[in-house]
Amino acid sequence: MRTYLGRVMRDISRKIAGDAALEGRFSKLLLLARRIHEQQQRQSGTKVYSLHAPEIECIGKGKAHRPYELMAWTTPVLGGKVEPREAAAGAQAMSNTNIATIGIDLRKNTFHVVGLDATGAIILRKKRLRNQLDQSLGNVPRCLIGMEACAGAHHLGRKLEKLGHQVQLLPAQYVKPYLKGHKNDFRDAEAIAEAAQRPTMRFVPVKSAEQLDLQALHRVRSRLVTQRTAVINQIRGFLLVRGLPVRQGAAALRLALPQILSAPKDGLSSRVIQLIQDLAEDWRYLDRRVASMTKEIDELADQDPHCRRLMSAPGVGPIISSAMVAAIGTGDTFHKGRDFAAWLGLVPKQISTGDRTILGRISRRGNRYLRTLFIQGARAVLLHRQSWPRHGFAARLEAASKRLHSNVLVVALAAKLARMAWSMLAKGRDYDANRLGRTA
């Protein structure tokens, strides 16, 4: 290393000899290089050193036909001041007027921004803190901004739309094919910018604050229902281990539990009885929380015109209608009802090749929560057979029930309900049994 540094110093000195401007420019750097070259490993006092070798790197290595470009990396112990390097290509200010597309890789506190011009070349590569991003992008002319649809993307998307930018949110699995080389944050942002320009890309619509609030209510309610089911199963398991089976269903357990606890059997110890009583209290608490959340969702659904319109369809109540509005808004993202049903995963999975159409089980992709709700709604419609003629389902369901398994029939009806619900939401009309064959 010492020999290499000495040769670099010699070559630079020969190149700049006789040129006052270059000698003045390289004087400090050559002085720094001589200090590094002359210092000993065990010498006492202040030393010049670096965490990254080589200490000084010379571009050209004596073979270039232009003056050397000298770059130095030193630690803060250096008394002198090294002039900063000039900005490299692709690291210009955020106010570049040639930016056509921006890709942002979102993180908790820092964002990585990559800008492309109209030809797709990288002309911007910056790292910004969360509180700096708004001001930085506010200086950029209106352009296309792409982000992955993740936590915080909808909030940031609304803020950027207010600045006049066109914001596109992309599913993460659609960005992955555009990633080149090893993964890092800047390459992720570059892949996002590339994917955002594709005309056939499927984007996620930016949700409003009201949609996110409604979605939060549904997620809290879903968590509470899951916890309540876990408590019920745990009580049932404790009783079954001690030889006390209870008929299936939460209502049956609710009725049997007081009698079991009031007249305990030989298999139930006092400790287990106390545990079951505590679990029963948790059950009652979760019932109150679920009822409170359900009431709040019902009130919001009654106030929203889109939810009221959806609730006119069979099998669709406040929970399904509000969950659908929270997920897709007015349904503008989808071109037709079949696209919405496919997004929910209610259509067969296609594995076709060689001019052969192969259809398997349903794909189960997309919004699992909303898909489950539509299947439950379809099951409720099938249970009330007397309502089929009123809803216009009688002829179709009678014929289908003779040739399809009950579970297959439920999923087929759920897909039909999803297509009808999208048609009502996107086209702004109430349910009409006479138009059943022509909707979606």
- Summarised one tens digit per residue, pLDDT across range 103-112 is 999 998 999 9
Give 282-302 pLDDT, tens digit per residue: 999 999 999 999 999 999 999
**Integer-rounded Cα radius of gyration of the chain:** 34
Residue-number span of the structural domain to which 16 is assigned: 2-72
User: Is 184 part of a structural domain of the chain?
Assistant: yes
Asked if the structure places residue 205 within a domain, the reply is no
Whether residue 29 is predicted with pLDDT greater than 90 in this model: the reply is: no
Instruction: Extract the tokens encoding 276.
Output: 């079951």
pLDDT for the residue numbered 328: 94
pLDDT of 383 strictly over 70:
yes
Q: Which of 72, 91, 119 is the last residue of a domain?
A: 72
pLDDT at residue 1, rounded to an integer: 59
- Reported as a pLDDT band with limits 50, 70 and 90, residue 419 is very high
Q: Same domain, yes or no, for 406 and 313?
A: yes
Same domain, 19 and 133: no
Split into its structural domains, the chain has a count of 4
- pLDDT at position 93: 55
User: 309 and 431, same structural domain?
Assistant: yes
Do residue 224 and residue 278 come from a single domain?
A: yes
Q: Which of 64-68, 199-203, 401-405 bottoms out in mean pLDDT, i.e. has the lowest?
A: 64-68
- For residue 195, pLDDT over 60 is answered with yes
Average pLDDT, the chain: 84
91 part of a folded domain: no
Same domain, 327 and 429: yes
DSSP output for 232-268: HHHHHHHHHHTT----SSHHHHHHHHHHHHHS--TT-
The tokens describing 295, both together, are 């009431």
286 and 312 together in one domain: no
Question: Residue 26's pLDDT band (boundaries 50, 70, 90)?
Answer: confident
Residue 206 included in any domain: no
> Residues 345, 378: one domain?
yes
Residue 111, beta-bridge partner list: 128
In the predicted structure, residue 79 carries a pLDDT above the cut 60: no
Residues 220-235 have pLDDT tens digits of 999 999 999 999 999 9
Task: Single out the residue in 196, 228, 254 at which a domain terminates.
Answer: 196
- Residue 331, domain member (yes or no): yes
Q: Tell me, what's the pLDDT at 353?
A: 84
Q: How confident is the model over 119-138, as pLDDT tens digits?
A: 999 999 999 999 888 888 88
Final residue belonging to a domain, choices 72, 88, 110: 72
| 292 and 363, same domain (yes or no) | no
Residue 87 lies in a domain: no
Structural tokens at position 391: 């809803």
What dihedral angle (degrees, nearest 10) is formed by the CA atoms of 12, 16, 20, 22?
-60
Mean pLDDT value of segment 63-68:
40
pTM strictly above 0.75? no
Backbone angles phi, psi at 98, to 5 degrees: -90, 0
Question: Under a CB-based contact definition with an 8 Å cutoff, are residues 268 and 244 in contact?
Answer: yes
The verdict on 310 and 391 lying in the same domain is yes
Q: Same domain, yes or no, for 125 and 11?
A: no
**Domain annotation covers residue 360:** yes
The CA-to-CA distance between both ends of the chain, in Å, stands at 74
Residues 421 and 319 in one domain: yes
Express as a percent the part of the chain with pLDDT over 90.
56
> 75 pLDDT exceeds 60?
no
Output the pLDDT for position 188. Answer: 95
Would residue 120 count as lying in a domain? yes
- Match 């908790």 to its residue by tokens: 108
pLDDT at 439 over 60: no
Distance CA 392, CA 386 (A): 11
How many angstroms separate the Cα of 396 from the Cα of each of 336, 387, 392, 404, 416? Answer: 22, 13, 8, 12, 11
E strand segments, 332-422: 348-350, 359-362
Residue 249 has pLDDT above 80, yes or no: yes
DSSP 332: T
3-state secondary structure of 288: helix
Residue 344's CB is within 10 A of a number of other CB atoms, namely: 29
Q: Which residue has the tokens 């790292």?
A: 127
What are the φ/ψ torsions at residue 291 (nearest 5 degrees)?
Answer: -65, -40
pLDDT of residue 365: 86
Spatial contact of 315 and 381, defined as CB atoms under 8 Å apart: yes
Q: What is the CATH number of the domain that holds 136?
A: 3.30.420.40
Give the confidence band of 55 by pLDDT, cuts at 50, 70, 90: very low
CB 388 within 8 A of CB 394: yes
Digit-coded pLDDT (tens) for 306-361 = 999 999 999 999 999 999 999 999 999 899 999 999 999 999 998 888 888 888 88
Relative to beta strand 110-116, strand 101-105 is antiparallel
Residue 245 one-letter amino acid = P
Q: What is the pLDDT of residue 84?
A: 40
Give the CA angle between residues 248, 253, 259 to the nearest 5°. 135
Please state, as a whole number, how many other Cβ atoms lie within 10 Å of the Cβ of residue 241: 10
Work out the number of other CB atoms within 10 angstroms of the CB of residue 407.
Answer: 10
Q: How many CB atoms lie within 10 A of CB 105?
A: 24
Task: Please indicate, yes or no, whether residues 312 and 276 belong to a single structural domain of this protein.
Answer: no
d(CA 253, CA 232): 8
Helix axes 250-262, 209-241, angle to 10 degrees: 50
